[in-house]
Amino acid sequence: MDQNPKIRAVETYIQALCDHDLNAIKSLYTVDARVEDPAGTDPKIGIDAILRFYEEGFSSGLKAKLTGPVRVAANYAVFPFLVELQDHGMEIDVIDQFTFDENGKVTAMTAFWGSENTRFG
């Protein structure tokens, strides 16, 4: 794992998506965090709403893998990755942005993707 705590958080996140590990997801976010996935949709606010969102994704056979380097600046990390929803035969190219607080917890996640980034296999 990388020594940069923001990059480590992204690596933990990707592994948690693959392992369907809600506890690992929960450990990354603040209790009042906000998730907007994809950007422009109604946000999920608070850890309970966020965990329900991930639980739904996990029920679709979600897997993920980084497809490029994590970019870190100030209190942000931005990273490209591939989401596979195996139960739906779907792949989505995503770029996520994490915003971190002073304790290294994610206060906001915004996912950037749209229909142009979705494929059915």
User: Would you state the pLDDT for residue 2?
Assistant: 61
The pTM (predicted TM-score) of the whole model is 0.95
CATH number (domain holding residue 14): 3.10.450.50
Summary mean pLDDT of the chain: 96
Strand 62-66 and strand 76-85: pairing? antiparallel
Mean predicted confidence (pLDDT) in 48-54 = 98
- Pick from 67, 70, 110: nearest CA to 91: 67
1 pLDDT tier (thresholds 50, 70, 90): low
Q: Where are the alpha helices (DSSP H) in 1-121?
A: 5-19, 22-28, 47-58
Tens-place pLDDT, residues 54-76: 999 999 999 999 999 999 999 99
- Please report which confidence band the pLDDT of residue 21 belongs to, taking 50, 70 and 90 as the band edges: very high
Q: What pLDDT is stored for residue 69 in this prediction?
A: 97
Q: Which residues contact 66 (CB under 8 A, 6 or more apart)?
A: 10, 11, 14, 79, 80, 81
- What's the domain count of the chain? 1
**Confidence at residue 121, expressed as pLDDT on a 0 to 100 scale:** 75
pLDDT at 85: 92
Q: Which domain holds residue 114?
A: 5-120
